[in-house]
Amino acid sequence: MSGFDLSGLTASFGGERVIGPLSLSVREGERVGLVGRSGAGKSTLIRLVYEQVERLAALVPQDLGLVNALPVFHNVYMGRLDAHGNWYNMVTLVRPFTRDSRDVKSLLSELGMTEKAWMPTASLSGGQRQRVAIARALYRQSGLLLADEPVSALDGPLAHQVMTLLRERFKTSVIALHDVELALEYCTRIVGIQDGQIALDESSEKLTPADIAPLY
């Protein structure tokens, strides 16, 4: 199952509550777009959900969580570290197994990153780094995606290409997006966050950008 039903989600910083308490239920097969202005609590909500469903989910955090000292290949491979024993992962650091090498490079090819497989991650541009984090999430082969602004550094056509790929590969998703048009096009449900609370929860088909504008 890739859906979840969570309640009592809350977070505070410096003694001040920044989100919740709130509940979020996502059915298997739903693609939820989290929208709202910067600072509304979208990133915090993604983190809170991930803390509850970590084993079920693939994550693309806003800071990407990449290891700069490792090449692109190994950053992608980390998406499935928990699927293997320590000895297997240690061997892979030196000489990846054929199947893993093929699978990782196939994902990088889909994202236009084939030639970057053995480059140090630290040397990549912002958009390239974002695609590495997306490849890592895809490599995890999870039914649930939690992503925080996964295409913010990508230009229009590439952003659409990646959003299409995420829609195809993940049965269920919760994606924080600043771009309202992308959210309406690629998500089946829109959840609007305002001042740490859910201020909007509606099917994408029933909404227009004007309906979402007040959240900003």
CATH code where residue 203 lies: 3.40.50.300
Domain assignment of residue 97, given as a range? 4-215
| Among the ranges given (68-77, 79-88, 118-127, 131-140), the one the predictor scored with the smallest mean pLDDT | 79-88
Question: Which residues is 31 bridged to in the sheet?
Answer: 173
Cα 135 to chain centroid, rounded: 10
Please report how many Cα atoms fall inside a 13 Å half-sphere around the Cα of residue 138, on the Cβ side: 24
| Angstrom distance (rounded) from CA 57 to CA 55 | 6
pLDDT of residue 13: 86
Q: What sign does the CA torsion over 28, 185, 24, 43 have? A: positive
Residue 207 has pLDDT above 90, yes or no: yes
Which residues are 19's β-sheet partners?
11
The neighbouring-strand residues paired with 173 are 31, 145
For residue 1, is pLDDT > 80? no
pLDDT of 35: 98
Taking 80 as the threshold, does the pLDDT of residue 188 lie above it? yes
**Residue among 49, 55, 50, 96 nearest 76 (CA):** 96
Give me the number of domains the chain comprises: 1
How far is 164 from 147, CA to CA, in rounded Å?
A: 14
pLDDT tens string 60-81: 999 999 999 999 999 999 999 9
Tens-digit pLDDT profile for residues 151-162: 999 999 999 999
pLDDT of residue 14: 86
